[in-house]
Structure 1
Amino acid sequence: MDGSFTLTLQIIIAVFAGITAQVLGETFKVPGIVFLLIIGIALGSDGLNILHPSDLGVGLEVIVALLVAIILFEGGLNLELRDLGRVSSSLRNLVTIGTGITLFGGSMAAHWLGEFPWQLAFLYASLVVVTGPTVIGPLLKQVPVDRQVATLLEGEGVLIDPVGAILAVVVLDTILNSEAGAMEFLTGLFLRGGIGIAIGLIGGALIGLLLKRRLTFLSEDLKNLVVLAGVWGIFGVSQMIRSESGLMAVVLAGVVVRALSVPEERMLRRFKGQLTMLGVSVLFILLAADLSIASVFALGWGSVLTVLCLMFIIRPLSIWICTIGSQLNWRQKLFVAWVGPKGIVSASVASLFAILLTQRGITGGDSLKAIVFLTIMMTVVIQGLSARWVARWLNLTSEGVKGAVIVGCSPLGVLLGELFQQEGESVVMIDTDPEACEKAEEANLPVMQSSALDETVLEEAGIESLGTFLATTNNGEVNLVLAQRALEEFQPPRVFAAFPKNSQAKTPANKTKVNQAFMSQIPIKIWNEYVAEGKIKLGHTVLREEGFSFQQVHLQALIRAGELLPLLVRHGNSLQVVKADQQWQPGEEIYYLLHDPRPKLLKRLSGGESSSRLALERLAEVEEVPLATPENN
């Protein structure tokens, strides 16, 4: 078979296997790296002997370098400086103090438990100070956690990767040039970091300014490719000036482009995200296929104890020290301490170092690569697969976050705010109308008189720590735009907008969509009028197991007739806004409005509610208006 076709076939197999692994990860809701490792090893020389990455020769090193550059640029592009400000001190400590703790703690564990020589022990520790963004990102998508925790983990994963790579190169240089002293070590470390930061800032600014000029002669797709060329150009220039400074450069370039708020940012992030997915898939398959399983088993139990020490002693100690004085509670700290999986940078740099050590006649290169891959396997499998359970146990999943930001101090919006507040959940009302805001303040609700399109307003409202965003002004199209904006910028766990079913506005392209609030056959504006005029009755009912089908039919009939508007449904110990496509379940408690068209005078004479606002002292005082059952119908 022709040699060039053989190499082409190797790449084709790697791409096909990598995408298959990602599909399996998405299907079974586990980190894709688990299947990437399994499939990669299965295709390698210790498995089916189909994939031979070593046949690529120096091409493997080139592929690794260019793909890692894209991965880290995409990581920097996804970093939100506003979010980082909330965890800046902890993040700074993790990248500095935490790196030192892991370096020295990991090296001692590798030497005393794994019986590695001090030189290789330090080299191993320098490779595992990083937490891979290629693992953290998909993991946090499958295990949505508290925003503050997610920001800290994402920031650590992206920023510490280039720091770890530079540190590892400096340690390797020290091993290869044993006459180098402490001054040479520090000089190499800061020189690489400084060059990478300078090139990244300049290159990122140039890319951002180029995109902001709105060059009409460039198509949208071509702009993405221009950015790709720019990223590789930044990486190449930085590497040419000083080896291994390119990783820091591409991360800083991504951060700068994001900070400049370029018009095509969202499309650019989507394109780079797809390239990152492809790059991670190919790299892990190739590197895992090149791994010798025999070398992993040859490490013995000492190496297993080394990894366990890294996971359960060194990582928690680092997190505890680095988050002293932060606003993180003990649950958040414990989850961050638990989640520290290693990723592509550790694997790729370890593979390259094994080759360099072998070329220089230094033994232990295969053992170094083996223990790094053992670390990746154990951290990904143990921490990655258990992260969802741990987050639920610590009550950190975003689905369990309570509270609401309600845009629109309409009569209905105020009523919803009261219900949330009386349930003990935090509520913030936002509106531009001074009169509407005053009425909400009369109901003892926290109010912000401003536009919900302003990101700083939503941030001050605490949207990042509240579970629900609801836009319920009288204008359905405005509600949808507000909800889409909030979703794109802050990703709240639950996003609702009151808009008509025949709305032509497009829903977001990402998977988490804006939910249409309420099951209503008539406009929300009409219901606001009903509430303002006192033509409603607030009730709640529990859907019983017995007669559930009949209750459900009766409920739907009242909704279709425009006589009933379900507002909230109790799930567990929290209230959630009713969706337009809500599927009812037995045992749920529903809070709703009934249209009561009787004139106000007649209602007063009959002892009904005369106030235009339902001022309720306690949620338990909401009138029990049970839906029909076969027995009482």
Structure 2
Amino acid sequence: MESLDSVSIAILLGSVLVMAGILSSLLALRFGAPLLLVFLVIGILAGESGPGGINFNDLGTTYLVGSVALALILFDGGLKTRFSSIKAVLAPSMGLATVGVLLTALVTAPVARYALDLSWVEALLASAVVASTDAAAVFLLVHAQGLRLRPRVGATLEVESGTNDPFAVFLTLMLVELITRGESSILHVLIEFVREAALGAVIGVVGGRVVVMALNRVALPQGLHAPFVTTAALVVFGAAQMSHASGFLAVYLAGMIIGNQPTRAHNSVVAFLDAATWLAQIVMFVLLGLLVSPQRLMGSIGPAVVIALALMLVARPLAVFICLAPFRFNWRERLFIAWVGLRGAVAIFLASIPMLVGLSKAYLYFDVAFVVVLISLMLQGWTLAPAARKLLVALPRSDRGPRRIELDLPGQLEQQLVGYAVRPKSLYLKRGLIPSWSKPTLVIRDQRILTPEEAEPVAPGDYVYLLAPPEKAAALDRFFVDMPPSTAPDPHLLGDFIVPGETSLGDLAAAYGISVPPGQEALTLADYFDIYLDQAPMVGATLPLDSIVLVARSLGGGRVNVVGLRLPEEEDEAPPPTRLAKVRTKLSEVWSLLAGV
């Protein structure tokens, strides 16, 4: 009976922990705190040195749970990565994920050697365990603290965090093998790395395509798509690991393939994996807390703190600045990327490998990882938002997006039904704006279902459902959120070829003799960007308008408030340059007139 009672207690504690994890996500969104620290403390208190008194030292279970958790985290990261967003940052991200991890470990290794009195190989292993960043920790805190990173910075961090884990795992395993066998060579390491990466990439791409085919061709019951995809991700991971390939690279690439193809129930899959990765992080931090012995930790906490500070303040910044030197990142962006190298579940997982194989001083590596993760979350986690704002690489979210309802339509993959509640100050209600690629289909008012024609005019409190491509559904959010007060254009951006976003197309056409779409003369330039841009506007976005190109120069409240005009290039038959000079003068005069109104 006592054994049955212990099982019941384990079920009770486990379910309470899962429920606490679900509710803690609300606190994370409200306070922006690194709440993973809470679960770290829970694990310590529940361990043998705390009031809980649980004697947990099952390293096999830790490795198994860590493998599954990390595989799901990487798969979720790949699922959200868009090919279009990573093209420009693929080279710098891959440099950070490979050379950056290696440089970080090499620079940290001398500190570990002399601080912990280790051999060079042992010091390099201690450094490799904590050398990679944690994608889930980074973007959990970015989301919780209400930040919207600049596209290039965000994409670089996303791809780096998603692809550096396979290299860190490979580096750790190679060093463990070197310590246990006592022999290896650089050529052997390079051959193994290329073989594992190439085979892992093939398995990931093939596995991802097979999952896409199965999702779209097999009529699964409603609600089983997300569990099917999650299980398929673990199948891809397991198949790669059994083939002695990089399972972590395979599962990340499989996620990218699935996320960039039209599939059924895509949004329910993403929502399910968001919850799964959040719970995986919680489980990993609780296990870390259970395995930590405060008494044992006291003997190595001083050197571990030195290693953590050297990693965050010297090794990571040096590796980032070297890897990004060939690319056009300014010093603020480089400094922020260097500071956002948070350590999390990946370090926990890697620290369990030396213990699992029974290396001498294995618990020392684990204690170092614990201190590094703790300091990283406390120091870097708490300062993430201030650093982003101080370095001008992110803007705070002015408003949370509206609640979006997405329904898949059986029989096709090109369109889905997207629903929103109509807010009193939304763009859709105030100006009737909607993108050209979406189509209002029905309106719900007072529990009645109406056609858009029957519901005209739409009123606050109505629910509007639109047909839209699944990959563009999120871009509809900005039309159904309350418009913030208009923001004045940045005076530093004013000059020739610049006009306010509130200038109408008709005024622009009258001034410069260009043609605008019939019936759209009253649209402002900001409205024009909202309607015809496929995604939320960002600085640098362009749209053609007759013979000129509109360039978004500045944003205010999520809308374009300063627009640059790019004139066509002169050809051999073009009029003399004096005409272009006249256009410049006229643009300046119109801007001065509009700015003075």
Q: Same fold (TM over 0.5)?
A: yes
Matching of residue 364 in structure 1 with residue 365 in structure 2:
no
Paired residue secondary structure (2:33): coil
- Of 238, 241, 249, 1:239 maps to 241
- Of 221, 224, 229, 1:222 maps to 224
Matching of residue 381 in structure 1 with residue 378 in structure 2:
yes
Aligned equivalent of 2:321: 320
Structure 2: how far apart are the matches of 1:140 and 1:518? 22
Structure 1 pair 175–7 and aligned structure 2 pair: CA distance change class (3 A): farther
Paired residue secondary structure (2:226): helix
Aligned equivalent of 1:621: 596
Using the TM superposition, give the Cα deviation of residue 50 of structure 1 relative to its aligned residue in structure 2, in angstroms. Answer: 4.8
Structure 1 pair 26–400 and aligned structure 2 pair: CA distance change class (3 A): closer
Using the TM superposition, give the Cα deviation of residue 6 of structure 1 relative to its aligned residue in structure 2, in angstroms. Answer: 5.3
Structure 1: how far apart are the matches of 2:41 and 2:476? 27
Structure 2: how far apart are the matches of 1:330 and 1:137? 22
Paired residue secondary structure (1:144): strand
Contact 2:94 2:163 in 1 (8 A): no
CA offset digits 1:4-37 (Å, max 9, x no partner): 4455455345434544554443332112322222
Structure 1: how far apart are the matches of 2:117 and 2:271? 45
AA matched with 1:315? R
Structure 2: how far apart are the matches of 1:499 and 1:398? 32
Structure 1 pair 63–7 and aligned structure 2 pair: CA distance change class (3 A): farther
Structure 2: how far apart are the matches of 1:105 and 1:577? 42
Structure 2: how far apart are the matches of 1:241 and 1:35? 38
Aligned equivalent of 2:52: 49
Using the TM superposition, give the Cα deviation of residue 207 of structure 1 relative to its aligned residue in structure 2, in angstroms. Answer: 0.5
Structure 1 pair 349–576 and aligned structure 2 pair: CA distance change class (3 A): closer
Structure 1: how far apart are the matches of 2:153 and 2:277? 23
Aligned equivalent of 2:84: 82
Structure 1 pair 331–241 and aligned structure 2 pair: CA distance change class (3 A): same
CA offset digits 1:461-481 (Å, max 9, x no partner): xxxxxxxx9789964455895
CA offset digits 1:513-562 (Å, max 9, x no partner): 6324489xxxxxxx9999999xx9xxxxxxxxxxxxxxxxxxxxxxxxxx
Structure 1: how far apart are the matches of 2:393 and 2:458? 31
Structure 1 pair 312–82 and aligned structure 2 pair: CA distance change class (3 A): same
- Of 158, 163, 175, 2:162 maps to 158
Structure 2: how far apart are the matches of 1:577 and 1:396? 16
Aligned equivalent of 1:566: none
Using the TM superposition, give the Cα deviation of residue 339 of structure 1 relative to its aligned residue in structure 2, in angstroms. Answer: 0.9
Structure 2: how far apart are the matches of 1:574 and 1:376? 37
Structure 1 pair 82–179 and aligned structure 2 pair: CA distance change class (3 A): same
AA matched with 1:91? S
Aligned equivalent of 1:406: none
CA offset digits 1:58-105 (Å, max 9, x no partner): 334322222222111111111122111121221121122212211211
Structure 1 pair 395–509 and aligned structure 2 pair: CA distance change class (3 A): closer
Equivalence map 1:424-439=2 (5 Å) = none
CA offset digits 1:28-60 (Å, max 9, x no partner): 211232222222223222322254443x56334
Structure 2: how far apart are the matches of 1:71 and 1:330? 30
- Of 459, 464, 472, 1:505 maps to 464
Aligned equivalent of 1:116: 118
Q: Gaps spanning 5+ residues in structure 1: where?
A: 402-452, 454-468, 484-497, 520-526, 537-572, 579-613, 623-633
Contact 1:31 1:385 in 2 (8 A): yes
Using the TM superposition, give the Cα deviation of residue 186 of structure 1 relative to its aligned residue in structure 2, in angstroms. Answer: 2.8
- Of 140, 143, 147, 2:142 maps to 140
Equivalence map 1:452-491=2 (5 Å) = 475-476=432-433, 478=435, 481=438
Equivalence map 1:197-212=2 (5 Å) = 197-212=201-216
Using the TM superposition, give the Cα deviation of residue 118 of structure 1 relative to its aligned residue in structure 2, in angstroms. Answer: 2.0
Q: Gaps spanning 5+ residues in structure 2: where?
A: 399-413, 415-425, 441-456, 467-472, 486-503, 511-518, 523-553, 560-588
Structure 2: how far apart are the matches of 1:127 and 1:230? 28
Aligned equivalent of 1:192: 196
Structure 2: how far apart are the matches of 1:395 and 1:32? 25
Contact 2:427 2:481 in 1 (8 A): no
Structure 1: how far apart are the matches of 2:156 and 2:368? 27
Contact 2:32 2:141 in 1 (8 A): no
CA offset digits 1:199-245 (Å, max 9, x no partner): 111111101122233x3x31241122221221121122112221x72
Structure 1 pair 108–198 and aligned structure 2 pair: CA distance change class (3 A): same
Structure 1 pair 156–529 and aligned structure 2 pair: CA distance change class (3 A): closer
Aligned equivalent of 2:547: none
Using the TM superposition, give the Cα deviation of residue 363 of structure 1 relative to its aligned residue in structure 2, in angstroms. Answer: 2.2
AA matched with 2:45? A
When the two chains are superposed, the root-mean-square deviation of aligned CA atoms in Å is 3.8
Who wins on radius of gyration, i.e. which is larger? 1
Contact 1:343 1:376 in 2 (8 A): yes
Structure 1: how far apart are the matches of 2:397 and 2:64? 45
Contact 1:341 1:383 in 2 (8 A): yes
Structure 1: how far apart are the matches of 2:107 and 2:374? 20
Paired residue secondary structure (1:187): helix
Aligned equivalent of 1:432: none
CA offset digits 1:343-388 (Å, max 9, x no partner): 112102212322322xxxx421111100011111111111111011
Aligned equivalent of 1:33: 36
Aligned equivalent of 1:183: 187
Structure 2: how far apart are the matches of 1:393 and 1:140? 15
AA matched with 1:366? Y
Aligned equivalent of 1:292: 293
Q: Normalization by structure 2: what TM-score?
A: 0.68
Contact 2:86 2:155 in 1 (8 A): yes
Structure 1 pair 7–392 and aligned structure 2 pair: CA distance change class (3 A): same
Using the TM superposition, give the Cα deviation of residue 161 of structure 1 relative to its aligned residue in structure 2, in angstroms. Answer: 1.1
- Of 69, 72, 96, 2:71 maps to 69
Structure 2: how far apart are the matches of 1:528 and 1:364? 71
Structure 2: how far apart are the matches of 1:191 and 1:342? 27
Using the TM superposition, give the Cα deviation of residue 191 of structure 1 relative to its aligned residue in structure 2, in angstroms. Answer: 2.7
CA offset digits 1:413-447 (Å, max 9, x no partner): xxxxxxxxxxxxxxxxxxxxxxxxxxxxxxxxxxx
Contact 2:204 2:252 in 1 (8 A): yes
Structure 1: how far apart are the matches of 2:94 and 2:339? 19
Aligned equivalent of 2:481: 515
Structure 1 pair 510–619 and aligned structure 2 pair: CA distance change class (3 A): closer
Structure 1 pair 208–43 and aligned structure 2 pair: CA distance change class (3 A): same
Structure 1 pair 248–233 and aligned structure 2 pair: CA distance change class (3 A): same
Structure 1: how far apart are the matches of 2:305 and 2:477? 39
Matching of residue 302 in structure 1 with residue 303 in structure 2:
yes
Equivalence map 1:496-575=2 (5 Å) = 501=460, 503-506=462-465, 514-517=480-483, 575=556
Aligned equivalent of 1:264: 265
Contact 1:115 1:302 in 2 (8 A): no
Structure 2: how far apart are the matches of 1:305 and 1:577? 43
Using the TM superposition, give the Cα deviation of residue 311 of structure 1 relative to its aligned residue in structure 2, in angstroms. Answer: 0.7
Q: How many residues are matched? A: 456
Paired residue secondary structure (2:326): coil
